[in-house]
């Protein structure tokens, strides 16, 4: 019985590292008005627009909150020769703004379990660097067979004065 308990603990234990230190963050509010570089400073080189599913090669991106409280991204469209924008709904949570691009859970334990989450947390560090933490979880289980993919990544974007 002791061996089964130890095996159970080992199977259900996982490790992760995250360099998203909340103590280095400034509170984000609806007065945010930044122009940032679209290129990431972090390992992985994920540009800012691609995090939101926007396939553009813009150099700079303007971010702010519109009058209805939505997170607004404005960028130059090289094909249309003008500015284009998209707005995303979200919520202020502690020192960051949280946007769910996808959030679906279907739970019928122990027979069926599906999780589909794509969440972005946007924050500002004390040196005016924009930080985006992306949490992605597409996993599922039927009876005792499970599969999926889960990861959390942090990208940093420099402010352009």
CB-based burial label for 48 (10 Å; 0-12, 13-18, 19+):
buried
Structure-token pair, residue 136: 């992605």
Residue 143 domain flag:
yes
In a domain, 94, yes or no: yes
Site of tokens 């090669």: 57
Tell whether 8 is covered by a domain. Answer: no
Q: Is 99:90 a contact under the CB 8 Å cutoff?
A: yes
pLDDT at 16: 46
Q: Alpha carbon of 57 to those of 5, 20, 46, 50: distances in Å? A: 52, 26, 12, 9
- Domain total of the chain: 1
Q: What does the block give as tokens for 124?
A: 């500002």
Phi, psi of 12 (to 5 degrees): -95, 10
Residue 9 within any structural domain of the chain: no
133 in any annotated domain: yes
Residue 70 main-chain phi, psi, to 5 deg: -85, 150
What's the pLDDT tens digit per position in 28-71?
888 889 899 888 887 766 788 989 988 878 888 999 999 898 99
Domain with 90, as residue range(s), is: 20-157
* The 3-state secondary structure of the chain, one letter per residue: CHHHHHHHHHHCCCCCCCCCCHHHEECCCCCCEEEEECCCCCCCCCCHHHHCCCCCCCCEEEEEECCCCCEEEEEEECCCCEEEEEEECCEEECCEEEEEEEEEEEEECCCEEEEEEEEEEEEEECCCCEEEEEEEEEEEEECCEEEEEEEEEEEEECECC
Q: Is residue 137 part of a domain?
A: yes
- Flag whether 4 is in a domain: no
Residue 3 lies in a domain: no
Per-residue model confidence as pLDDT tens digits over 112-131: 999 999 999 999 998 888 99
2-24 tens-digit pLDDT = 665 555 555 555 444 455 566 77
1 pLDDT above the threshold of 90 = no
């Amino acid at each position: 019985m002791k061996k089964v308990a130890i095996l159970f603990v080992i199977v259900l234990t996982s490790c992760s590292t995250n360099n998203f230190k909340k103590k280095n963050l400034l509170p984000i509010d609806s007065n945010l008005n930044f122009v940032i570089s679209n290129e990431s400073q972090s390992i992985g080189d994920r540009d800012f627009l691609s995090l939101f599913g926007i396939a553009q090669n813009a150099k700079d991106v303007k971010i702010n909150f519109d009058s209805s409280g939505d997170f607004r991204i404005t960028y130059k469209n090289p094909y249309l020769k003008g500015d284009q924008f998209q707005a995303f709904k979200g919520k202020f949570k502690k020192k960051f703004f949280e946007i769910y691009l996808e959030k679906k859970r279907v739970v019928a334990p122990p027979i069926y379990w599906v999780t589909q989450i794509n969440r972005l947390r946007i924050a500002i560090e004390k040196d005016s660097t924009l930080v985006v933490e992306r949490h992605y979880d597409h996993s599922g289980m039927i009876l005792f067979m499970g599969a999926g993919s889960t990861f959390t990544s942090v990208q940093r974007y420099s402010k352009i004065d």
